[in-house]
Structure 1
Amino acid sequence: MTQNSRRLSGMCRAAAVTAVAGASLFSLAAPTQAATDGPNYVAMGDSYASGAGLRGVKDAECDRTTGSYPSIVAGTSAGENLAFKDVTCSGATTRSIWNAQGSKPPQINALTPNTKLVTLTIGGNDVGFTSVLATCALVKSSDPNGSPCKKYFTTGKDVLGERINTMEGRVRDVITDIRRRSPDAKIVVVGYPALFPDNGVGCAEVPFAQQDFAFLRDTTLKLNRALARRAADGGTGVSYADTYKATIGYDMCQPRQRRYIESLTPGAGSMAAHPNSYGQLLMSVATLDQILKP
């Protein structure tokens, strides 16, 4: 099977799962019409949830698009019967859940007692994802065959590990507050996809030292494990959607026709190191898989 055939096959499978899942999503909230006293489905999170860089911009300030996985979930046949509120915003941290981000009110404000479904992708910006990538690119020249970025962030103390620990505690508080405001909501914590090669072998197109690819992969996995722990400890109605496994082999180092995560090449804009339309589709499938579980 050719690469294009594999991609087409994967897209067809994902579209079919999305369509079937949408038919069952109706039973989750069971409204007969869009709610008038608050949204049934609230999407919260950062640029990985907002669909940053894709077409169909709904909100330029937040880089929120119609190609995001929450929009795909909401666009299923049953999702059309759920009043949908998308408050995702590029650059959001856990602080953005409770505090204004630019002109945008706190994301938590979108929740009501009538909310029946919440999806949440948050934590990458708490760890400083964008600045970490910039630093890794800057220090590459000091040791292109080694791991200068890992050395930068672990000499003396594990800077990123400490950030992840702090983030994990905040995500716990976010889940607690969501449950308090929307006690009947099913909460799906959606993890981050495989941005870097899972085998740790890098590529010339992405400007990092050779051994730093494994360091960045491991950091992504640590972040996802922290999110999965918080979801597991969140109690009944809280689950974790693993988007990493589904995107292994489709990272930013893959050929353009295969990758689901855009590379750091000039002109990528806000989509750099973010899921493209295929990546968002796979994220929606992983999310729907959790929504449909009893």
Structure 2
Amino acid sequence: MRRSRLVVILSSIVLAVGSALTGATVAQGAETAAATGYVALGDSYSSGVGAGSYISSSGDCKRSTKAHPYLWAAANSPSSFNFTACSGARTDEVLASQMGPLGASTGLVSISIGGNDAGFADVMTTCVLESDSSCVSRINTARAYVNSTLPGKLDTVYTAIRNRAPSAHVVVLGYPRFYQLGQSCLGLSETKRKAVNDASDLLNSAIAKRAANHGFTFGDVRTTFTGHEICSGSSWLHSVNWLNIGESYHPTANGQSGGYLPVLNSAA
């Protein structure tokens, strides 16, 4: 009698646990199935500054229909697409004004961020207008920031993304090298060009390390931009554009479709 009762009790426990596990699996599966929305965060390299065809409602954020997030969404038809990347954005702006669409239904997030925090625009202004030594000095200041302060800023953004979008696959996109070296080319000296490229490499390394520490995928666009840097003769990057200074050193439409989109396709 006691043995029969024990068998009945154990059977009930097994059934209850099995039912709970099945329910959890179904719930998890439903959440995963629903997590197919795409949110594109970041700065001007994500919004598409330099590519033209800006969405009028995006205003100064200059979100382009030729930017890689827009192209990816058009080709893949996610259940929802929220394009909040904005020209000039720093990590603080991403946290303050871009993360609203993230949620349980977000399956993919892409982001490029960190260049503005490191003072990219001021670096390029200094290097274009001032001497080699001034350029290198300003770059060294940026490098010190990348080594000391930027990692913590990136950690804060990446943690916030994961907390708000727990099911999302997150792709962190880097920045291209800007110059092809060893070429005869009007503009910056070889010393300046190399210093700028080296700084880009350092920035990419810092971003890639923080992304990996959060379990995110780093998309390295230096490979796809190789042979298409400024001075290459087939550049996918704007050089100094005095008529529209904000587009300087940003990807062209070809840079978005040929440089960034293949990396996002592969990483997503």
Q: Same fold (TM over 0.5)?
A: yes
Which of 50, 55, 58 is residue 52 of structure 2 equivalent to? 55
Whether contact under 8 Å (2:50, 2:251) holds in the other structure is: no
Deviations 1:55-101 (A, max 9, x none): 3211122011101011111111xx214200000000000011122xx
| CA RMSD after TM alignment | 1.9
Match of 2:260 in 1: 283
- Tell me which stretches of 4 or more aligned residues in structure 1 moved more than 4 Å: none
Please report how far the alpha carbon of residue 114 of structure 1 lies from its aligned counterpart in structure 2 after TM superposition: 1.4
Whether contact under 8 Å (1:201, 1:213) holds in the other structure is: no
Q: Size of the alignment, in residue pairs?
A: 233
TM-score, normalised to structure 2, is 0.81
Deviates most, 163-172 or 181-190: 163-172
TM-score, normalised to structure 1, is 0.74
| 2:170 counterpart SS class | strand
Whether contact under 8 Å (1:200, 1:211) holds in the other structure is: no
Match of 2:168 in 1: 185
Whether contact under 8 Å (2:48, 2:66) holds in the other structure is: yes
Return the alpha-carbon distance in structure 2 between the equivalents of residues 89 and 228 of structure 1: 21
Pick the structure with more helix per residue. 2
Please report how far the alpha carbon of residue 139 of structure 1 lies from its aligned counterpart in structure 2 after TM superposition: 1.5
Match of 1:231 in 2: 211
- Residue type of the partner of 1:74? A
Is residue 88 from structure 1 mapped to residue 74 from structure 2 by the alignment? no
- Residue type of the partner of 1:108? M
Whether contact under 8 Å (1:262, 1:268) holds in the other structure is: no
Larger radius of gyration: 2
Return the alpha-carbon distance in structure 2 between the equivalents of residues 202 and 49 of structure 1: 31
Residue pairs, 1:119-198, within 5 angstroms: 119-140=110-131, 147-150=133-136, 152-153=137-138, 158-165=140-147, 166-197=149-180
Return the alpha-carbon distance in structure 2 between the equivalents of residues 43 and 169 of structure 1: 21
Residue pairs, 1:24-63, within 5 angstroms: 30=33, 40-58=37-55, 59-63=58-62
Deviations 1:110-139 (A, max 9, x none): 211211110010011001111111111221
Could you tell me which runs of 5 or more consecutive residues in structure 2 were left unpaired when the two chains were aligned: 1-31
Change (3 A) 1:202 1:242: farther
Match of 2:236 in 1: 260
Match of 2:3 in 1: none
Could you tell me which runs of 5 or more consecutive residues in structure 1 were left unpaired when the two chains were aligned: 1-28, 100-105, 141-145
Return the alpha-carbon distance in structure 1 between the equivalents of residues 246 and 135 of structure 2: 23
Return the alpha-carbon distance in structure 1 between the equivalents of residues 127 and 183 of structure 2: 15
Match of 1:243 in 2: 221
- Residue type of the partner of 1:153? R
Return the alpha-carbon distance in structure 1 between the equivalents of residues 150 and 109 of structure 2: 19
Whether contact under 8 Å (1:74, 1:82) holds in the other structure is: no
